[in-house]
Amino acid sequence: MFTPSLSKLFVLVLVVGALWWFYRRSQIKRRDQAELDRNPRTRAKKNQPAKPIEDMKQCLICNAYVPAVGASRCGREKCPF
């Protein structure tokens, strides 16, 4: 009948180990995907491009750096922005 030899046992251990490794790998991927599905902000952060860099100008009155386009007033007198 079946006579277990060292080579057969070794192959059996390798097959079981490979199956276990693939199963754990699929579980980890499934868990990561479930986390992304549960928290959509995480997915948006990964896929969103970075904000563009804006040019800055220094205010001559208060010496603060403000965006060159769309700057709001700082509240000081005679502030050009």
Query: Among residues of the chain, what percentage have pLDDT more than 90?
Result: 27
What was the pLDDT predicted at 24?
96
pLDDT greater at residue 39 or residue 16: 16
The 10s digit of each residue's pLDDT in 27-54 is 999 988 888 777 766 555 556 666 788 8
Tell whether the torsion through CA atoms of 36, 37, 42 and 45 is positive or negative: positive
pTM: 0.42
Structure tokens that stand for 27 in this block: 């579980």
Q: Where are the alpha helices (DSSP H) in 1-81?
A: 6-38, 40-47
pLDDT greater at residue 81 or residue 55: 55
Report which DSSP code applies to 54: P
